[in-house]
Amino acid sequence: METTMNHFTPAPCFYLFNQEAAIVYPKLSGEFVNQSLKNIMGIVDHLLVSNPESLFLFDPASCNNQCHLFSLINAQLLSHAMTQQQQQQSDIKAEIPDKKFIYLSFFLSHAFLANSKLCEQVARKALQTMKSNEPTKQFCMFIKDPEGKSVRAARNAINVLFADHMKTVLSKREDPLFKELALLAHEPKLTSCEDNGPILYTLPKFAGVAYFVDAIFKEEISVQFKVKVVTKEGNGLLCHTVHHFPSVPVIVFEMVATDQTLSYKDFEEIAKKCPSFSQRNINQSKRHKNSDSCGFCTTRQINVEGYRERFQSIFERSNEMLLALGADFVLQRQKSFEGFFTNTVKYPLLTALFKESRDNIQKFCLSMDKPLSLSVLHAQPDSASFAAEDALIMDATFETHSKKRGLVLI
């Protein structure tokens, strides 16, 4: 099995992780490591070209609260790849990100971190479709990454790549707001750390959203909002497409709307304990029994028309909504970054935009710590066909979604 990517000259391990195989995998031979990584890149290339339904897997657990930007970057790459494959030419409207983002996203896929066996199952199906040899036991163990060596190396590598990419792309625009965004991207203290993990470069959510809303229009990337309505009477679903372009990748924002009995933060605590939640607690003892029901997985359905009418005007102002959500995230979970958006001397335009967006948090009912609110759970890329379905990634395990999409052997 040979990867279709031949443009890199370093060995695959150094190409991907900026480290030699002996450093990342000291107990394995360098030849085996590099051949295995080359084979994995071949699987990724195959999935991108032949299985657009696999796009939801390219959603990295980057641990720095940048899902909106990684979704954008991977959508840019996927759109470019499809254009190249279908037209044999590229109508490039922006600089194409480094394809290493896609490869590293595969290693860091939320789906595979939730269940390492799923990565092996997806690889087996892809190799069978590619008519490649049956994978060896050693390769299957390598791709499951039981010691987390690939994950750690990929997370560090994608963070360096992300920092360089954002600093570069923001510096290429000459308009005043982007000059402030570029200046902010180079601030020395843009770091975050989740659950005692590594210290990672993190662009403040509000700044990233300001770039995001500009990029999706400029590059004609489709965006869809899917809202899980959670109430004490039951749950419901409503979908709204705000930007539709004839592109293969779609960025899907999975959102949560609550009634007067709970906030988004309350919802998070309920969902983590539910075994059907895609991002459920990894520790099985901290989930409720499969036979039990909770506010997340209840089968009681409600009429969501009242919520649809309530949110219609908000979705029609989606840029303002996203900016307000970004401001709320800074206020709730990136408090150390708030000072950037109150600095009228260094960041006058961002400060004014942040103030306007902060006012819209209450106006649009977007605060994650108040009931009767609308908040974003996650953003990820997906294929146009599956994005159009009335279904949520959050509502089932990644194994269930992969089986439904034909990505694993049954």
Q: What single letter denotes the amino acid at residue 224?
A: Q
If pLDDT is split at 50, 70 and 90, which confidence band does 349 have? very high
| pLDDT at residue 192 in the model | 81
Mean pLDDT of the chain: 92
Looking at residue 241, what is its pLDDT? 85
Question: pLDDT at residue 261 above 70?
Answer: yes
Does residue 394 surpass a pLDDT of 90?
Answer: yes
In which band, very low, low, confident or very high, does the pLDDT at 316 lie, cut at 50, 70 and 90? Answer: very high
Structural Rg of the chain based on CA atoms: 21
H/E element, 77: helix 67-87
Q: How confident is the model at residue 5 (pLDDT cuts 50, 70, 90)?
A: very low
The continuous run of DSSP H or E covering 382 comes out as strand 374-383
Q: List, for residues 266-295, the tens digit of each pLDDT value.
A: 999 999 999 999 999 989 999 999 999 999
Is the pLDDT at 91 greater than 60? The verdict is: no
Q: Do 166 and 124 contact (CB within 8 A), yes or no?
A: no
pLDDT at 41 over 50: yes
Planar angle of CA 94, 61, 409, nearest 5 degrees: 100
Q: Which long-range contacts (CB under 8 A, 24 or more apart) does 350-356 make?
A: 350/177, 350/180, 350/181, 350/184, 350/206, 350/207, 350/210, 353/177, 353/210, 353/323, 354/206, 354/327, 354/330, 356/323
Q: What is the pLDDT of residue 1?
A: 45
Mean pLDDT, residues 360-367 taken together: 96
Res 307: pLDDT: 94
Q: Which amino acid is at 368?
A: M
How confident is residue 195, by pLDDT bands cut at 50, 70 and 90?
A: low
- Structure confidence at residue 244 as a pLDDT band (50, 70, 90): confident
- 8-state DSSP, 38: H
Between 53 and 7, where is the model more confident?
53
- Retrieve residue 31's tokens: 């030849």
Q: Give the percent of the chain with pLDDT over 90.
A: 85
What pLDDT sits at residue 196? 65
Please say whether the beta carbons of 224 and 240 come within 8 A.
yes
pLDDT at position 94 is 56
pLDDT at 79: 82
- What's the whole-number mean pLDDT along residues 204-210? 98
pLDDT single digits (tens) 331-342: 999 999 999 999
Indicate if the pLDDT at residue 88 is higher than 80: no
**Reported pTM:** 0.93
Lowest mean pLDDT, pick from 61-65, 86-90, 172-176, 321-325: 86-90
pLDDT surpasses 80 at 86: no
Confidence of residue 220 (pLDDT cuts 50, 70, 90): confident
Beta strands 222-230 and 200-201, pairing class? unpaired
> What pLDDT is recorded for position 89?
47
Residues recorded for the chain:
410
Helix (H) or strand (E) holding 116: helix 116-129
Torsion of CA 100, 101, 102, 103, to 10 degrees: 50
Range of lowest pLDDT (10-19, 26-35, 186-195, 268-277): 186-195
Distances (CA, A) of 32 to 13, 22, 25, 142, 145: 11, 11, 10, 10, 14
Question: At residue 246, does pLDDT exceed 90?
Answer: no
Tens digit of pLDDT for each residue in 110-160?
999 999 999 999 999 999 999 999 999 999 999 999 999 999 999 999 999
Picking from 17, 25, 58, the residue whose alpha carbon sits closest to that of residue 158 is: 17
Q: Give the pairing of strands 249-258 and 200-201.
A: unpaired
The 3-state secondary structure of 210-275 reads: HHHHHHHHHCCCEEEEEEEEECCCCEEEEEEEEECCCCCEEEEEEEEEECCCCEHHHHHHHHHCCC
What pLDDT score was predicted for residue 193? 73
Helix, strand, or coil (residue 397): coil
Q: Is it the case that residue 93 has pLDDT exceeding 90?
A: no
Q: What's the pLDDT score for residue 95? A: 67
> CA nearest 207: which of 173, 230, 241, 184?
184
> What is the CB neighbour count within 10 angstroms for residue 191?
15
